Amino acid sequence: MKWLRKRRPTVGVVVPAWGVERWLPATLDSLIAQSHTSWQAVVVDDGSPDRSGEIAEAYAARDSRISVLHTQNGGLGAARNRGAAVVEGDYLAFVDSDDVLPPDSFATSVATLEASGSDFVAACLLRVEAEPPTGRGVAVPPWMARMHAPALTGARIAERPEILGDVFAHNKMFRRSFWDRERLAWPEGVRYEDQPTTTRAFLAGRFDVSPAVVYHWQIRTDGTSITQQRSSLADLADRWTTKRMALDSVVAHGDDDVTRVFMTRVLPGDLWVYLHAVPGCSDAWWASLREGIVSLWGPDGLGDSILSPAMRLAAWLVTQDRREDATRFVTYVLGLDGRPVPRTPDGAALDVPGDVLAPGSVPPERLRLTR
């Protein structure tokens, strides 16, 4: 009697590509090197102005599991959606074309989902950047490690609402039936399209949380990636748009505890990047930053947030429209080169020099470390 061999689950992979001729070969090489070999991938040439499309076609000629879809430029969200519409598989994964996969990435995620039956898995990633002093080196970001430990199986969002801070598309694998059933798609025409969709997925499904590293996030140090251009007005406008989209989904979910965690620990998580850009910003950018903070959190809504005490103070100065004070204070903080702002002798409050913020110009409660 012959035993029937169980069919290996297939993974459909979407690789959007625009202006990545320097990095795409390494991405596709890491795809071909996967120990789980039952996959098919579509490289979406999003109207790339360089040789990305040609490189993808050369790989497709060598490996029948790779196909290429040439489209007019529509941005990352549109490219992902176009790829998801044509790729097939039991599972669905998204890989950015300037990153790489460790060899057991698919095998690890597929095994997790086959064992759990969950709708998707959110695993860990490795941040890969130049070594200091120009970069941060290679490590799992500490906040990422905290969110992904301990492991969870078949969880609902109320069990770990902080996982909403894992906004990445590329460290997740989705069951295709779940993706289609929930009609998930990436927002088009805006940057930071990951957060609204991953938020919807976490709210809708059962998911696994894994500390396994399944993705190597390559950080460009040349400033060419979209998310490295935070000081532009268009970037800030898109960030407010996607934050509001995610918040709308959380509020509609109707769990007060989840909403509280999202508002205090998730939504403000990257706000420090924008506060650091206050010195030298344009009038329009300042107005957008202030309007966004006030509309989402109110004039005092960031007092209990995950932001550092210094950045909570900076955000408050923004809400009060104290631009000169905010500029001086943020410039002072940046000049500390990562060292904390000095504390008062009892250690309970920030001790800001008088030439940065005039004595008595800030209410004492704004300087306290905890409120």
Per-residue confidence (pLDDT) for residue 301, from 0 to 100? 74
Based on the domain organization, do 302 and 215 belong to the same domain?
no
Residue 237 within a domain: no
Return d(Cα 22, Cα 1) in angstroms, integer. Answer: 53
Residue with tokens 């929930």: 182
Residue 222 pLDDT level (bands cut at 50, 70, 90)? low
> Which tens digits make up the pLDDT trace of 8-22?
899 999 999 999 999
Mean pLDDT of the chain: 94
Total structural domains within the chain? 2
Which domain does 185 fall in, by range? 11-227
Per-residue confidence (pLDDT) for residue 1, from 0 to 100? 41
Based on the domain organization, do 222 and 273 belong to the same domain?
no
> Which tens digits make up the pLDDT trace of 173-201?
999 999 999 999 999 999 999 999 999 99
Q: How far apart are the first and last CA of the chain?
A: 72
What pairs with residue 129 in β-bridges? none
Per-residue confidence (pLDDT) for residue 220, from 0 to 100? 74
Per-residue confidence (pLDDT) for residue 2, from 0 to 100? 47
Tokens representing 189? 């025409």
Return d(Cα 67, Cα 49) in angstroms, integer. Answer: 19
Based on the domain organization, do 135 and 273 belong to the same domain?
no
**121 phi/psi in degrees, rounded to 5:** -125, 140
CA 52 to chain centre: 24
CATH number of the domain to which 201 belongs: 3.90.550.10
Based on the domain organization, do 107 and 198 belong to the same domain?
yes
Per-residue confidence (pLDDT) for residue 144, from 0 to 100? 95
Residue 258 within a domain: no
Residue 130 pLDDT level (bands cut at 50, 70, 90)? low
- Strand 152-155 with 207-218, pairing: antiparallel
Return d(Cα 82, Cα 40) in angstroms, integer. Answer: 15
Residue 227 pLDDT level (bands cut at 50, 70, 90)? very low
DSSP string, 87-139: ---SEEEE--TT-B--TTHHHHHHHHHHHH--SEEEEEEEEE-PPTTTS--EE
- Taking alpha carbons only, the member of 57, 82, 76, 80 closest to residue 67 is 57
